[in-house]
A and B are shown apart, each in its own frame.
Chain A
Amino acid sequence: SAVISQKPSRDICQRGTSLTIQCQVDSQVTMMFWYRQQPGQSLTLIATANQGSEATYESGFVIDKFPISRPNLTFSTLTVSNMSPEDSSIYLCSVQGGQGQETQYFGPGTRLLVL
């Protein structure tokens, strides 16, 4: 399976600021996804990061709040904009591919605390 890294691994941010999270994969992948996992909760898909076009957002998530870039097949960024304490969460990047083409593998996550 692909090796996925995320930066930063954790951060503490002030209300009203923005944070950009980077996801790097060691091989080219077609599908990349961004998830959020709030404390004690399961995974919620934010968006699918499409290479060369705008991301596809799930219901409840908008581009102004979570802009995503996907400049190539190995890299993506997620920005959490104008943060509030409710944005405190773990943000996870995942990629599709490997043993079965539909399997998804997750990066180590970014732990965000907004004060």
Chain B
Amino acid sequence: QKEVEQNSGPLSVPEGAIASLNCTYSDRGSQSFFWYRQYSGKSPELIMFIYSNGDKEDGRFTAQLNKASQYVSLLIRDSQPSDSATYLCAVLESGYSTLTFGKGTMLLVSP
């Protein structure tokens, strides 16, 4: 049974701070990892994907992957109130085309 775990939150950070969102997964065969942002009442929007160990940066977002620890994280620098949303971690197992989603972490950025 593939599992993707996230803290449900809410994670509250002040504007301008770094928000750190974490995700663990159970299947060691997982190869691809995705972060989606979902605003209330909207559909998920892809933020980043990462395949290799280490960091991947895109603007204010950094995805970090540690396959040995089965851990992937998303850092949001200079957090803005507009970043307030639920962040979904998704994992793709090698050889499969279907994603397994975590339950999501709600992020609240206060002005």
Q: Return the contact of B99 from the options A45, A99, A107, A108 (Cβ within 8 A).
A: A45
- Pick from A44, A90, A100, A107 the residue with the most CB of B within 10 Å: A100
User: Does B69 sit at the interface, judged by CB under 8 A?
Assistant: no
How far, in whole Å, are A100 and B42 apart by their CA atoms in the complex?
23
- CB <8 Å contact, A108 and B51: no
Contacts of A109 in B (CB 8 A): 42-43
0/1 string, A84-115, CB within 8 A of B gives 1: 00000010100010011011111111000000
Contacts of B45 in A (CB 8 A): 106
How far, in whole Å, are A31 and B92 apart by their CA atoms in the complex?
14
Closest B residue to A33 by CB, please name it.
B98
User: Does B88 sit at the interface, judged by CB under 8 A?
Assistant: yes
From residue A88, how far is it (CB to closest CB) to chain B in Å?
15
User: Does A42 sit at the interface, judged by CB under 8 A?
Assistant: yes
User: Does B101 sit at the interface, judged by CB under 8 A?
Assistant: yes
0/1 string, B77-92, CB within 8 A of A gives 1: 0000000000010101
- SS class of chain A's interface: helix, strand, loop or mixed? loop
Closest A residue to B104 by CB, please name it.
A42
- SS class of chain B's interface: helix, strand, loop or mixed? strand
From residue B29, how far is it (CB to closest CB) to chain A in Å?
14
- For chain B residues 90-111, which have a beta carbon within 8 Å of chain A? 90, 92, 97-99, 101-104
- CB <8 Å contact, B44 and A106: yes
Closest A residue to B100 by CB, please name it.
A45
**Given the interface contacts A48-B97, A103-B34, does A41 sit within 8 Å of B103 by beta carbon?**
yes
From residue B50, how far is it (CB to closest CB) to chain A in Å?
10
User: Does B32 sit at the interface, judged by CB under 8 A?
Assistant: yes
- CB <8 Å contact, B97 and A108: no
User: Does A62 sit at the interface, judged by CB under 8 A?
Assistant: no
- CB <8 Å contact, A42 and B103: yes
| Contacts beyond the supplied A33-B98, A42-B102: 6 A-B pairs with Cβ under 8 Å | A42-B88, A42-B103, A43-B88, A92-B43, A103-B46, A108-B42
Top 3 A-B pairs ranked by shortest CB distance? Answer: A106-B43, A42-B103, A43-B101
